């Protein structure tokens, strides 16, 4: 990691009035191939939640970094002992040179708030999944699917009605760096990102083992139903009628 960065500088910025929020960075450290930031976030207003994103000088702070976990993203609650981790090598590869980081944040008042999207489960390509959310505004929205920084699919001018069918394209590459981006179509500054989730093939590429019945030194393989005629097996998986005996009288 020492050869990866020649300079590291960190700034924390909260875009809300300073008199009611207090941010304290306690420690910044290198842990293997990750940069870890420890901070406290205090707020005198009960019930506030924050939307925080991490940016870097590599792209002039233009887009949020994606390989960030921990107390980052939407719905970060005030408190002490907060921590975020940035997997810098996964994000930038073998980057060398000067770099500055900035955390930008604001009080989180979502124009949509997903209620049923579970990022801990895997989503299969070629399938559709219902999205539900609590609308916070009447403006139409744009819903997009990203893999890393690459836009995979999306639809604009969707009604902010609280439900939508998310289609995972059949040819989407498998991976664990997918995110949803939802944007207010009439206010480009209103954007929320889901946390990363996994997309996998619809049918796992597993070796399928067929049942084998050994008959008089030979072997017969059989499979259950599927197109054209009925299977010669009963509900217990036994051939019906039974195979003729191969024992010589």
* pLDDT (tens digit per residue) in 211-247: 555 555 554 544 444 444 444 444 343 334 444 444 4
- Beta-strand (E) ranges in 57-201? 68-70, 73-76, 79-87, 98-107, 112-114, 122-124, 128-135, 141-147, 150-158, 163-167, 175-184, 187-193, 197-200
Which residues of the chain are in CATH 2.60.40.1930 domains? Answer: 112-200
Contact residues for 246 (Cβ-Cβ < 8 A; gap 6+)? 215, 216, 217, 218
First to last CA, the chain: 79
| More confidently predicted of 39 and 218 | 39
pLDDT score at 246: 44
* Measured distance CA(246)–CA(217) in Å, rounded: 9
pTM, 2 dp: 0.47
Q: CA quadruple 127, 132, 136, 139: dihedral positive or negative? A: positive
Q: What is the pLDDT of residues 71-118, one digit of tens each?
A: 998 789 899 999 999 998 899 887 777 888 888 888 877 778 888 888
List the CATH code of the domain at 7-107. Answer: 2.60.40
Q: What is the pLDDT of residues 172-211, one digit of tens each?
A: 999 999 999 999 888 877 888 888 999 998 765 554 444 5
Q: Are 98 and 7 in contact (CB under 8 A)?
A: yes
Instruction: Output the six-digit token pair for 192.
Output: 């929320």
Q: Which CATH superfamily is domain 112-200 in?
A: Macroglobulin (MG2) domain (2.60.40.1930)
Q: Would the pLDDT of 149 be above 70?
A: yes
């Amino acid at each position: 990691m020492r050869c990866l960065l020649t300079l590291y500088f960190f700034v924390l910025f909260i875009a809300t009035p300073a008199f009611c929020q207090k941010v304290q960075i306690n420690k910044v450290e290198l842990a293997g191939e990750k940069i870890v930031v420890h901070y406290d976030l205090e707020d005198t207003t009960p019930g506030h939640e924050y939307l925080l994103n991490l940016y870097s000088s590599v792209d002039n702070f233009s887009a949020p970094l994606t390989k960030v976990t921990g107390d980052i993203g939407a719905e970060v609650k005030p408190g002490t002992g907060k921590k975020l981790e940035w997997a810098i090598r996964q994000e930038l590869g073998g980057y060398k040179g000067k770099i500055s980081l900035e955390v930008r944040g604001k009080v989180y008042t979502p124009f949509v708030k997903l209620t049923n999207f579970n990022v801990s489960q895997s989503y299969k390509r070629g399938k559709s999944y219902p999205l539900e959310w609590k609308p916070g505004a009447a403006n139409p929205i744009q819903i997009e699917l990203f893999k890393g920084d690459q836009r995979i699919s999306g639809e604009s001018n969707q009604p902010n009605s609280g439900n939508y069918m998310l289609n995972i394209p059949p040819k989407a590459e498998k991976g664990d760096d997918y995110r949803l981006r939802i944007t207010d179509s009439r206010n480009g500054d209103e954007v929320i990102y889901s946390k990363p989730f996994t997309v996998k093939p619809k049918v796992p590429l597993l070796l399928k083992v067929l049942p084998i019945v050994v008959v008089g030194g030979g072997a017969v393989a059989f499979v259950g139903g599927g197109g054209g005629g009925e299977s010669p097996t009963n509900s217990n998986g036994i051939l019906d009628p039974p195979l003729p005996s191969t024992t010589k009288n």
